[in-house]
Amino acid sequence: MLRYEFIKREWIVSSIARRVYRISAAVSVVLFLWMALVLNGAIPQFLESAVKPFLLAGAFGAGITLVGMEFFLFRFDNSHPLKQVFWFGVMLFPFLGPAMYCFIVYSRSEVLRKSCGLQN
């Protein structure tokens, strides 16, 4: 069982964490768009092999966003329980769900604003 004491609050709600999660979410969205284009055949074959190393960065970004936003949802999100259930369901969609949560809920949360000293 994961114990909350092993994950420091600063890893989730700090200005550095905010920057990391927002960059990871953006990379995750780019990875999703790239995969959609590749699956639809809109990208030439020679370009696919040239960009493969960036797919690893996209996978790491998606993973960081998913883990960080799930932890924030369960530990720090103080919104209405129905909203939390809704966002949990949205986060089940890989790449876009956690990124949407990051940009819409996490970045605007009161907990993050207090921790980072951000203005409304």
Q: Is the CB of residue 45 less than 8 Å from the CB of residue 79?
A: no
84: number of CA atoms within 13 Å, CB side?
Answer: 13
* Mean pLDDT for the stretch of residues 66-78: 92
For the record, the structure tokens of 9 come out as 């609050």
pLDDT at 1: 55
Q: Which of 49-53, 85-89, 116-120 has the highest mean pLDDT?
A: 85-89
For residues 58 and 6, the model is more confident at 58
Question: What number is the average pLDDT over the span 18-41?
Answer: 90
Give the pLDDT of residue 34. 85
Closest CA to 95 of 25, 41, 19: 25
Q: Are 11 and 4 in contact (CB under 8 A)?
A: no
Model-level pTM?
A: 0.85
